[in-house]
Chain A
Amino acid sequence: MQAGELTQACDPEAFDFETTADLEPLTRVVGQPRAVEAMRFGLGIQEKGYNIFALGPAGMGKQSVMRRFFEGQADQEPVPSDWCYVNNFDDSQKPKTIGLPAGVGADFKKDMDTLVKQFSTALSAAFESEEYQSRRQAITESSQEKQQQAFQELQRRAEEKGVRLVRTPAGLVVAPIHEEETLSPEELAELPEEKQQELEAKVEEVQAELQEILQQVPGWNSELQEKLEELNQEMAEIAVGGLIDDLCKKYGDYPKVVDHLNAVQEDVVENADDFLDSNDNSSQLMAALQGGEGQQTQRRESRVRKYKVNLIVDHSDSERAPVVYEDNPTHQNLIGRIEHIAQMGALMTDFKLIKPGALHKVNGGYLLLDARKVLTQPYAWETLKRALESGEIHIESLRSRLGLISTVSLEPEPIPLDIKVGLFGDRTLYYLLYQLDPEFTKLFKVEADFEERMDRDRENQDIYARVIATMVEDYELMPFDRGAVARVIEHSARLVGDAEKLTTERESIEDLLREANYFAREENRQVVMSEDIQQAIDAQIYRADRIRNRMQEMILRDTVLIETEGKKVGQINGLAVISLSNFTFGRPHRITARVRMGKGEVIDIEREVDLGGPVHSKGVLILSGFLGSRYAGEKPLSLAASLVFEQSYSGIEGDSASSAELYALLSAIADVPLKQNLAVTGSVNQHGQVQAIGGVNEKIEGFFDICQAQGLTGDQGVLIPESNVKHLMLRKDVIDAVKAGNFKVYPLQTVDQGIEIMTGMEAGVRDEESNYPADTFNHAVEARLEGLAEMRLQFGKDDKKEQG
Chain B
Amino acid sequence: MSRPEQEVKIQRILVALDASPHSYSALEAAISVAAQMQADLQGLFVEDVVVCRLTESSSCQEIGLFTASKRRLDGEELSRQLRTRAKKVRRHFQTLIDRAGLRGSFQEARGQVSAEVLSAAVNADVVFLGKGAWAAVETGRLGPEVRKVLSRLRGSAFILQAGSRLQLPMLVVYDGSPLADDALLTAASLAEKVSGGKITVLVLAEDSDQAQKLRNLAGQKIEDRDLVVNYRSLSGSKLPWLISLIQREGYNLVVLPALRSVIEEEALMEFLDEIKTPVLLIQEGEYE
Contact = CB atoms under 8 A, between A and B. Distances in A.
A166 B138 contact: no
Contact of A168 (B56, B62, B252): B62
A756 B71 CA distance: 128
A184 B165 contact: no
Contact of B63 (A151, A171, A282): A171
Nearest to A133: B250
Contact of B65 (A155, A172, A184, A285): A172
B3 interface: no
A328 interface: no
Given A214-B68, A283-B165, A167 B56 contact: no
A155 B100 contact: no
A88 to B, nearest CB: 37
A772 B141 CA distance: 141
Interface in B182-196: 190, 193-195
Contact of B73 (A173, A186, A285, A286): A173
Interface in A398-416: none
Contacts of A145: 140
B137 interface: yes
Contacts of B68: 210-211, 214-215, 217
Interface string A272-292: 000000000011111011100
Interface in A168-211: 168-175, 182, 184-186, 188, 200, 207, 210-211
Contacts of A690: none
Nearest to B69: A211
Counting chain A CB atoms within 10 Å of each CB, which of B28, B68, B69 scores highest?
A: B68
Contact of A289 (B36, B64, B71, B78): B36
Contacts of A185: 53-54, 56-57, 60
Contacts of A288: 193-195
A169 B193 contact: no
A167 B167 contact: no
Contacts of B140: 144-145, 148
A151 B132 CA distance: 13
A168 B32 contact: no
B166 A214 contact: no
A173 B62 contact: yes
Interface of B: 19, 28, 32, 35-36, 50-51, 53-54, 56-57, 59-66, 68-71, 73, 78, 81-82, 84-85, 99-100, 134-141, 165-168, 190, 193-195, 252
Interface string A226-250: 0000000000000000000000000
Main secondary structure of the interface of B (DSSP, over half): loop
Contact of A166 (B32, B54, B166, B195): B54
A419 B224 CA distance: 75
A152 B139 contact: yes
A214 B51 contact: no
B43 to A, nearest CB: 18
Interface in A279-331: 282-286, 288-290
A145 B195 CA distance: 36
B98 to A, nearest CB: 12
Interface string A742-773: 00000000000000000000000000000000
A621 to B, nearest CB: 94
Contacts of B63: 171-174, 207, 210-211, 214
A170 B88 CA distance: 14
> Among the interface residues A154, A175, A207, A283, which one has the most CB atoms of the partner chain B within 10 A?
A283
Contacts of A169: 19, 78, 81-82, 84-85
A727 interface: no
Contact of A171 (B35, B56, B65): B65
Contacts of A182: 50, 53-54
B168 A164 contact: no
A175 B59 CA distance: 11
Given A164-B136, A211-B68, A211-B70, A285 B193 contact: yes
Contact of A175 (B32, B54, B64, B190): B54
Contacts of B99: 290
A218 B166 CA distance: 30
B214 to A, nearest CB: 26
A165 interface: yes
5 contacts: A166-B136, A172-B137, A211-B68, A283-B167, A283-B252
A200 to B, nearest CB: 7
Nearest to B20: A167
A114 B166 CA distance: 34
A182 B82 CA distance: 19
B168 A285 contact: yes
Contacts of B65: 170-172, 214
A73 interface: no
B53 A285 contact: no
For the complex of A and B, the 8 pairs showing the least CB-CB separation, nearest first, are A283-B167, A165-B136, A214-B68, A151-B137, A185-B57, A169-B81, A283-B165, A148-B140
A471 B43 CA distance: 87
B167 A284 contact: yes
A147 interface: yes
